[in-house]
């Protein structure tokens, strides 16, 4: 109801209608594609407050989540993740398959947050050592995460007494022991 009131005010006082609101979404997408994640997150937030199309609003939330992750704003990204989870769990999707696909994407995006948010990284180190291999793989294969390699090596060194696998052993040999045996 409040969104409709805002839309009416925009149309009545400023002649801003659905086309201009849609242009805001496109502009936010443009900002995201140009690497201005802060601007994109801000515009997507504004768009979400004005959007009356629920599917488009979900799309804007996905974009805002991606922008917060790329800015490494883990607390804000976690808020967006929880917002999306609530929507995915409560929204009537066009098909159960569509809802399932959204849940799967949510789990994938959540890994970025959980591997980087200090509370969740501590949980991995304390009780979920097996997840270190996925964290290691994510850091190695993602060029943007290479700056986290030094921190990852510290985690591997701290946990090598309680968890080892081929990936973590290789990284430890390569970056700590400097021992790589060829074939």
Q: What's the mean pLDDT in 4-14?
A: 65
37 band by pLDDT with thresholds 50, 70 and 90: very high
Which pair of structure tokens corresponds to residue 83?
Answer: 């917002």
How confident is the prediction for the chain on average, in pLDDT?
84
- What is the C-alpha to C-alpha distance for residues 176 and 174, in angstroms, rounded to an integer? 6
- pLDDT, residue 130, reads 81
The gap from C-alpha 38 to its chain's centroid, in whole angstroms, comes to 14
Number of domains in the chain: 2
Could you list the residue range(s) of the whole structural domain that residue 143 is in? 117-183
Domain identity same for 21 and 80: yes
> Which of 115, 146, 168 represents a domain boundary (last residue)?
115
- What is the C-alpha to C-alpha distance for residues 170 and 168, in angstroms, rounded to an integer? 5
- pLDDT, residue 3, reads 58
Q: Do 38 and 71 touch, CB atoms closer than 8 A?
A: yes
> Which of 87, 115, 143 represents a domain boundary (last residue)?
115
Q: Indicate yes or no: pTM above 0.85.
A: no
- pLDDT, residue 35, reads 94
- What is the C-alpha to C-alpha distance for residues 7 and 15, in angstroms, rounded to an integer? 10
Domain identity same for 96 and 142: no
How many CB atoms are located within 10 Å of the residue 112 CB? 21
Give start and end residues of each alpha helix (H) in the chain.
Answer: 2-14, 18-33, 37-50, 54-70, 74-90, 96-116, 118-127, 132-141, 149-159, 166-172
Write the pLDDT tens digit of every residue in 70-119: 998 989 999 999 999 999 998 777 788 988 999 999 988 888 888 777 78
Domain identity same for 90 and 23: yes
Domain identity same for 85 and 101: yes
Domain identity same for 126 and 111: no
Q: Percentage of residues in the chain with pLDDT exceeding 90? A: 31
173 band by pLDDT with thresholds 50, 70 and 90: confident
Domain identity same for 88 and 176: no
Domain identity same for 126 and 163: yes
Domain identity same for 20 and 86: yes
What are phi and psi for residue 97, nearest 5 degrees?
-65, -40
Domain identity same for 89 and 103: yes
- pLDDT, residue 21, reads 84
Query: Which range (6-10, 16-20, 158-162) has the least confidence?
Result: 6-10
Domain identity same for 86 and 111: yes
Domain identity same for 28 and 90: yes
Domain identity same for 87 and 122: no
């Amino acid at each position: 109801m409040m969104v409709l009131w805002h839309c009416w005010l925009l149309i009545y006082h400023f002649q801003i209608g659905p086309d201009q609101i849609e242009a805001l979404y496109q502009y936010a997408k443009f900002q995201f594609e140009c690497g201005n994640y802060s601007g994109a997150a801000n515009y997507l937030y504004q768009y979400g407050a004005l959007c009356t199309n629920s599917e488009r609003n979900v799309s804007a939330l996905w974009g805002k989540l991606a922008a917060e992750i790329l800015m490494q704003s883990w607390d804000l990204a976690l808020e967006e993740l929880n917002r999306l989870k609530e929507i995915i769990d409560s929204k009537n999707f066009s098909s159960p398959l569509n809802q399932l696909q959204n849940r799967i994407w949510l789990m994938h995006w959540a890994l970025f947050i959980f591997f980087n948010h200090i509370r969740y990284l501590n949980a991995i180190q304390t009780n979920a050592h097996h997840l270190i291999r996925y964290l290691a793989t994510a850091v190695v294969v993602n060029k943007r995460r290479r700056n986290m390699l030094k921190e990852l090596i510290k985690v591997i060194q701290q946990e090598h007494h309680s968890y080892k696998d081929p990936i973590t052993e290789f990284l430890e040999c390569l970056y700590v022991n400097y021992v790589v045996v060829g074939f």
